[in-house]
Structure 1
Amino acid sequence: MVVLPRLPRAWAAALSALVLLVVVPTACSVQAGAGHPATWTAAGAPRSPGPTLAPGTGAALLKRDPKASPQARAVYQYLADLEAGARAGKLPGTVIGQHIEAQNELYNPDYGDFKGVKPVGYYYEKAADITGKLPGFVETDLGPGYGQSDWGVGNPRSYSQNKWPSCSPKWQYTDDEVDLLAAVWSGHPRAQDGTYGTSGTQLNCDGSTTTVPDNGGAPAGIVGMSFHEPYPGAPVKSFDEVLCRNSPAATDPKWFSRVVDGTGNPPEHQALMKDLSYVADHLEYFAQHDIPVIFRPYHEMNSAGCDGGFWWSGQKPADYQALWRTMYTYLVQTRGLHNLIFAWTPVSWDGAPGVDPWDYYPGDQYVDLVGVDDYSGSPAHPIGTGEVWTKRYYDGLAAYDKPRILAESFAVPVNSRQPDTLKRTPWTLWTVWGQSLTSGNIHPDAITNSNADVKATYNSPQAITGGSGKYDPSTDWSALHVR
């Protein structure tokens, strides 16, 4: 599903022909309010079958993966068009995203803006509670697990494959994440795959229930997944085992090479492949249901030193590239997952927390989107005297000639301290990290996003959101799926 943006009239006119050919049924029309950017809505009923992809759609994605799915091509082209418009100075819009830490929402009562268990997707729905609009993008984090000794799942699902124990304690969140992403892309309930029946609520193995956040039952945005993988062979699946200082990399300089080098199939490499098979089984569910996923693995690889980064961070660039290639080859070539859009996102490179990332870049043949996890400063105190907030990273990534994303940030982009961010640095996608949407206890320099800031972001003329959170027949997001 591609959610169409609020576009300036001049650019909308130039782009509308392409978009109509790619993803929009002939019943769709462009409407613009007086003095405001154009807003795309679907009109007419019943909805007629939409056209297939126009030739050349997602050409760069097809160059990387000739078997890329039509839905993945359409999403990539959508972001590529936003990037092209931004480079032309047209301010086409930024998709506003929300990251979800489902394991913390479900199992950590101290997480977030109140004490107590939160339903999975709490911070996805929180944006709509504040603004009346859902994020246009939601990313979940399949790893790292929550203190269990091995991978598992909640209810028995196709991706369990008799390989991952089902009804496992503290693993229900992975099922809930998959269901949330499927609901954002496809709508819910989804009786066709045996989940949620007609009520939007399902009974879990442990006696609890899960209700997918309400998006009106209709498609509401694009979706992604990150993977905080505990170090291969970790005896516990938890965030602590993701950190480099707790991994063998901290004491054994040759350990990482054994992880990425399959020669002789050492135990460390076998453990890596087991982890990758776990994430692949979940991603395969999306491929089977024609859902494209922006996949963002092995991020922040340029963290300075082992103390502050993940186990894959601060390694020799060639070894990191080997890790990425191993992951890519397994997911795309071995497992045949052609619904993926790969995002490479170093951490902000200002020396603290990150160093220059360029030598870590895996190569155009393995990457579709480039971005940054920006934790170097705050809107009140941008890094660098006199610098425009996030501009160092926006400009630094320009040479890759790929859609640029702000993959993680504590702050919403439009706020009282930096009201012009989306004009000065029109990222194609801006994702707010988890509980930082409304909770200020994340980092000493992190501000609390006020409700006014969140509203200003979601109501910005440059913001591309996922809708109202309530189904409106005049805005049928399902009409925007590729046929």
Structure 2
Amino acid sequence: MRMRSRVGLPGAAAGAALLAALGIRAWPEERDEERRRGPGQVPTDLRERDPEATLAARQVYAMLAGLENSARHGRPSRTVIGQHVELHNERHNPNYGDYRGTKPPGYYYRKARDITGRLPGFVELDLGPGYGQPGWAVGQARPYSEAWPSCRRYWGYVEDAVDLAVGVWAGLPRAADGSYRPSGTHRECASGAEAALPHNGGAPAGLVGFSFHQPYPGSPVKGFAQTLHRNSPAAEDPHWFARVVTPGSPEHRALLLDLRYLADHLGYLADRGVPVLLRPYHEMNTAPGRGFWWAGQDPAAFRRLWRLTYDYLVHRRGLHNLIFVWAPNSWDGSYGREPGAYYPGGRYVDVVGVDDYSDTPAEPFGGGAWTEVWFRGLEKYRRPRIVAESFHVPLNAAQPRTLTRTPWVLWTVWGQALSYDNVSTPRKKNTTNDVQQTYYSSRAITAQDFS
């Protein structure tokens, strides 16, 4: 077992600069301040959950908690504007995005700047699901990925994801680390193609997150199709999921292999001082038989899956740079169910959110302000609240006051939806005016606020 050291100076310095730029205190100086919290106040010290949390992770969590507490007390608050980046689709799917053809890595990170002149303040990447190839693999092996088959076709996006995460936290371009040339480009070993990440000014540019679209444990092929319940053993065997969360079973050993792949890459970020908002097993409250292989399962078994994953990453692998995000599907009564039974508990969760695809700005669900039903529904968990996935930016012609009525701490737009739904069906999810209105709002936190 490899234990991780506490965050080094570069990561701590980036975190300090980040918070100083926003004028937010890092964390309470005295523990008795925590005891003086009023009803509903969100804890501000990550050490309540992880006593060994790195300095940078504590600073980021304190920032999010500070924004949440301001919102709960009716004080002016702000929202970090985020962008999910589907690197595997950008690099390898010519039908993905707003024009036909493959894209440079980080295309939708840069797209926000193309539209507004500003980069997002948060970027979420994905270490899965793979691209339909056998087993876990990487592009060109590096110290953090040398345990996995290397120079495999379609796997170079993994290294780009990790490099982009470091670059968002610490700045791009940065000193050559053996993966990119001083020019900022590198050659993909499997295809020979040149790749370059977008520059962001070379200074701290925001927060970093990872999701993990994990194919079902034991899947011989790693791809999005294998993440779905209907293509997993759970579709035919009602006892399969219980075996996944039972130590000693073949299914559980397969789970640990997947988690090892995740931990190896997150560990590199820990060594570089990068705190990560980790969002595993999202949309777990999807109706049975729909969604991902971990969705719609017995809630007690799901909570066990979450806690097993937490224990592996934090205690067995010593990853203390993580901020855990629990994000159910919007519980509209049809596709998603009320998620409370799936909540793993405050000892295992730092941030709560929602993946909201149930409504549109023009037709809000629930009769209140747009997204208000989810904003109020998550209040009881006493954690910072985020929109973890949405097709829409929060401010638009139909909903110009979203961040005033529902001051979410963070709001992330999903991939290509920033500009177009899909090149083959080019319906705009967000107009140029929508994106500009959001990024120029005084309530929005974008990359320029971190520099």
TM-score by length of 2: 0.90
- 2:113 is aligned, of 100, 116, 128, to 128
- Matched with 2:348 is 366
- Matched with 2:401 is 420
Equivalent residues in 2 for 1:22-421, closer than 5 Å: 23-24=16-17, 55=29, 59-161=44-146, 163-191=147-175, 193-206=177-190, 207-262=192-247, 265-306=248-289, 308-384=290-366, 386-421=367-402
The answer as to whether partners of 1:436 and 1:449 remain within 8 angstroms in 2 is yes
Summarize deviations over 1:197-218 as a string: whole Å, max 9, x none: 4221122213122211110122
Residue 52 to residue 110, structure 1, CA distance change in 2 (3 Å): closer
Summarize deviations over 1:24-62 as a string: whole Å, max 9, x none: 599x78xxxxxxxxx879xxxxxxxxx997635985410
The amino acid that maps onto 1:278 is Y
Q: CA deviation at 1:159?
A: 1.4
Q: CA deviation at 1:196?
A: 2.1
When the two structures are aligned, how many residues end up with a matched partner? 425
Summarize deviations over 1:314-373 as a string: whole Å, max 9, x none: 000000001001100000000000000000000000113200000000010000000100
The answer as to whether partners of 2:96 and 2:422 remain within 8 angstroms in 1 is no
The answer as to whether partners of 1:189 and 1:197 remain within 8 angstroms in 2 is no
The amino acid that maps onto 2:317 is R
The answer as to whether partners of 1:94 and 1:463 remain within 8 angstroms in 2 is yes
Distance of 1:235 and 1:451 partners within structure 2: 42
Distance of 2:440 and 2:355 partners within structure 1: 24
Residue 409 to residue 117, structure 1, CA distance change in 2 (3 Å): same
The amino acid that maps onto 1:321 is R
The answer as to whether partners of 1:411 and 1:447 remain within 8 angstroms in 2 is no
Structure 2 SS opposite 1:23: helix
Residue 93 to residue 53, structure 1, CA distance change in 2 (3 Å): closer
The answer as to whether partners of 1:404 and 1:429 remain within 8 angstroms in 2 is yes
Residue 76 to residue 56, structure 1, CA distance change in 2 (3 Å): farther
The answer as to whether partners of 2:172 and 2:198 remain within 8 angstroms in 1 is no
The amino acid that maps onto 1:165 is P
Residue 87 to residue 61, structure 1, CA distance change in 2 (3 Å): same
For structure 1, which segment, 433-442 or 168-177, has the greater mean C-alpha deviation from structure 2 after superposition?
Answer: 433-442
Q: CA deviation at 1:425?
A: 0.5
The amino acid that maps onto 1:365 is R
The answer as to whether partners of 1:100 and 1:433 remain within 8 angstroms in 2 is yes
The answer as to whether partners of 2:27 and 2:45 remain within 8 angstroms in 1 is no
- Matched with 1:459 is 440
Distance of 1:203 and 1:442 partners within structure 2: 27
The answer as to whether partners of 2:18 and 2:206 remain within 8 angstroms in 1 is no
Distance of 1:116 and 1:309 partners within structure 2: 28
The answer as to whether partners of 1:260 and 1:269 remain within 8 angstroms in 2 is yes
The answer as to whether partners of 1:98 and 1:431 remain within 8 angstroms in 2 is yes
Residue 394 to residue 104, structure 1, CA distance change in 2 (3 Å): same
Gaps of 5+ in 2: 1-14, 32-42
Distance of 2:311 and 2:135 partners within structure 1: 24
Residue 204 to residue 443, structure 1, CA distance change in 2 (3 Å): closer
Residue 429 to residue 339, structure 1, CA distance change in 2 (3 Å): same
Residue 118 to residue 442, structure 1, CA distance change in 2 (3 Å): closer
Residue 178 to residue 94, structure 1, CA distance change in 2 (3 Å): same
Q: CA deviation at 1:92?
A: 1.4
- Matched with 1:44 is none
Gaps of 5+ in 1: 1-21, 30-38, 42-50, 468-474, 478-483
Structure 1 SS opposite 2:66: helix
Q: CA deviation at 1:381?
A: 1.2
- Matched with 1:34 is none
The amino acid that maps onto 2:412 is T
The amino acid that maps onto 1:191 is A
Structure 2 SS opposite 1:355: coil
Distance of 2:82 and 2:320 partners within structure 1: 23
The answer as to whether partners of 2:82 and 2:413 remain within 8 angstroms in 1 is yes
Q: CA deviation at 1:387?
A: 2.1
RMSD value, Cα:
2.4
Summarize deviations over 1:100-129 as a string: whole Å, max 9, x none: 111100000000111000011101100000
Distance of 1:443 and 1:374 partners within structure 2: 23
- Matched with 1:448 is 429
TM-score by length of 1: 0.84
Residue 443 to residue 431, structure 1, CA distance change in 2 (3 Å): farther
Distance of 2:107 and 2:293 partners within structure 1: 29
Distance of 1:24 and 1:176 partners within structure 2: 25
